[in-house]
């Protein structure tokens, strides 16, 4: 009657539910604790992936079967499916129906979001085809989420409000130079995968800095400046090149700077004193009218960023109350899980780099061995050629000696025969 994580992942739902019903609460808590430790351990990553593969092979985990599951069993299944520790905490107050929807990818797996999917009944091709994707909090490129807000490390489409990590956008070339329809000047844009709309990134960065930079710490400012530098590094317009240059210049001043207000004022002043090209503004207005439905309000991206920040502030406020402490612990555990994931990726990267270095070292050794064997083969070939010439010379000499000896023997035989004939002739004369 033993029930472990593998039994929960592999055995029929009703069978496991009946077994868990008879077990004490302390055993159920230990079962959840063991999976929590597995999710937080890099060393047990392979073991967790085996559990996920078992779940992926099952075809009996329908909504009907999941509704009859034991509460602990359902929390374990959801945590195995999503890889998120928050579903195992005692502060988890999600209803059974909500947990089933998360497992079936009909509700956002982000514990701080929990939107019904697709978000806001979005019928775009991306949301309708990618199960479990939440356009409200997930990256359109990697489908991962975090709790960053009011930052340039996330960029968004100012038309459909789908979001993307800046790093993902740069890596996949969603962030690239482009011209607005009818415009001549090239500028850095974020091209949305969902709707194809190109959003101006200079205006986005300007809105973020002018609104939120005054509240940033030195480390946050450094990260944002580094992000700006990477966004506008490929910029072809003078405005973007100047912004990239300013970011590079200020990055050197942020290190060891206690008060960042002067640096923030410098870049905000740059945004405020910049002149907007009238032709570009006209093109943007035509583009907004083409997308139908009225004008896109100025600063739409910043409004989205602000609303996300407000949601985060509300969560922090709730966490300060007695009923909200659990949410703060959940977010802390989620953050720790993300850190563990990053550590695992760094460990995997270091391991692969070590394997590559070992392979390169082995290749160099094999190449050296090949050169050595080639040198020996060349030496053996030369030695064989030398021996062949010696053998040929000796063969010719032996042939000459043989001919000479044969000729001498032939002459000696002729002399002996002549002598015998002469003796016989003399005997005949006497007789």
| 18 located within any domain | no
Number of structural domains found in the chain: 1
| 98 located within any domain | no
* pLDDT for the residue numbered 114: 80
* pLDDT for the residue numbered 386: 92
Residue 356 structure tokens:
């590559």
Nearest to 203 by CA among 266, 296, 293: 296
| 308 located within any domain | yes
Residue ranges for the chain with pLDDT beneath 70: 1, 90-92, 180-185, 256-259, 274-348
* pLDDT for the residue numbered 184: 58
| 261 located within any domain | yes
| 153 located within any domain | yes
* pLDDT for the residue numbered 346: 66
Residue 404 structure tokens:
């000479």
Distance separating alpha carbons of residues 155 and 191, to the nearest angstrom: 10
| 297 located within any domain | yes
* pLDDT for the residue numbered 300: 43
Distance separating alpha carbons of residues 156 and 302, to the nearest angstrom: 9
Q: Over the stretch 1-35, which tens digit does the pLDDT of each residue have?
A: 578 888 888 888 888 888 888 888 888 888 888 88
Distance separating alpha carbons of residues 56 and 110, to the nearest angstrom: 20
Give the Å distances, CA to CA, from 273 to 1, 99, 367, 390. 74, 51, 62, 93
Q: Over the stretch 210-263, which tens digit does the pLDDT of each residue have?
A: 888 888 888 888 888 888 888 888 888 888 888 888 888 888 777 766 667 777
* pLDDT for the residue numbered 389: 92
Question: Residue 296, CB half-sphere, CA atoms under 13 Å: how many?
Answer: 24
Residue 214 structure tokens:
């005054």
| 59 located within any domain | no
Q: How far is CA 201 from the centre of its chain?
A: 24
Domain span including residue 216: 139-318
């Amino acid at each position: 009657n033993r029930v472990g994580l593998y039994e929960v992942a592999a055995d029929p739902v009703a069978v496991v539910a009946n077994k868990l019903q008879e077990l004490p609460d302390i055993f159920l808590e230990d079962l959840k604790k063991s999976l929590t430790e597995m999710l937080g351990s890099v060393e047990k990553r392979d073991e967790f992936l085996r559990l996920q593969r078992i779940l992926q092979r099952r075809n009996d985990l329908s909504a009907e079967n999941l509704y009859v599951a034991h509460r602990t069993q359902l929390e374990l299944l959801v945590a195995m499916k999503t890889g998120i520790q928050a579903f195992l905490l005692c502060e988890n107050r999600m209803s059974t129906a909500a947990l089933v929807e998360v497992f079936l990818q009909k509700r956002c797996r982000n514990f701080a979001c929990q939107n019904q999917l697709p978000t806001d009944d979005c019928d775009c091709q991306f949301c309708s085809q990618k199960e479990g994707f939440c356009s409200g909090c997930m990256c359109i490129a990697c489908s991962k989420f975090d709790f960053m807000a009011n930052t340039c490390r996330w960029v968004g489409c100012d038309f459909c409000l789908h979001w993307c990590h800046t790093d993902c956008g740069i890596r996949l070339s969603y962030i690239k130079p482009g011209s607005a329809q009818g415009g001549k000047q090239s500028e850095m844009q974020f091209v949305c995968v969902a709707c194809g709309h190109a959003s101006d990134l200079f205006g986005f960065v300007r809105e973020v800095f002018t609104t939120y930079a005054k509240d940033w710490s030195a480390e946050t400012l450094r990260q944002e400046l580094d992000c700006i530098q990477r966004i506008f590094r490929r910029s072809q317009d003078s405005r973007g090149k100047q912004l990239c240059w300013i970011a590079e210049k200020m990055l050197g001043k942020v290190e060891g700077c206690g008060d960042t207000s002067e640096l923030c004022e410098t870049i905000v002043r740059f945004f405020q004193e910049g002149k907007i090209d009238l032709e570009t503004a006209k093109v943007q207005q035509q583009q907004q009218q083409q997308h139908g439905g009225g004008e896109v309000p100025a600063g739409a991206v910043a409004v989205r960023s602000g609303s996300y920040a407000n949601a985060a502030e509300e969560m922090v406020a709730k966490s300060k109350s007695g009923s909200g402490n659990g949410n703060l612990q959940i977010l802390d555990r989620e953050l720790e899980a993300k850190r563990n994931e990053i550590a695992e990726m760094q460990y995997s990267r270091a391991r692969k780099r070590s394997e590559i270095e070992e392979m390169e070292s082995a290749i160099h050794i094999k190449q050296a061995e090949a050169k050595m064997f080639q040198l020996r083969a060349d030496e053996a070939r030369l030695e064989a050629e030398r021996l062949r010439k010696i053998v040929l010379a000796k063969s010719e000499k032996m042939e000459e000696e043989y001919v000479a000896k044969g000729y001498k023997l032939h002459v000696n035989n002729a002399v002996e025969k002549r002598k015998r004939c002469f003796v016989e002739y003399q005997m005949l004369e006497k007789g």
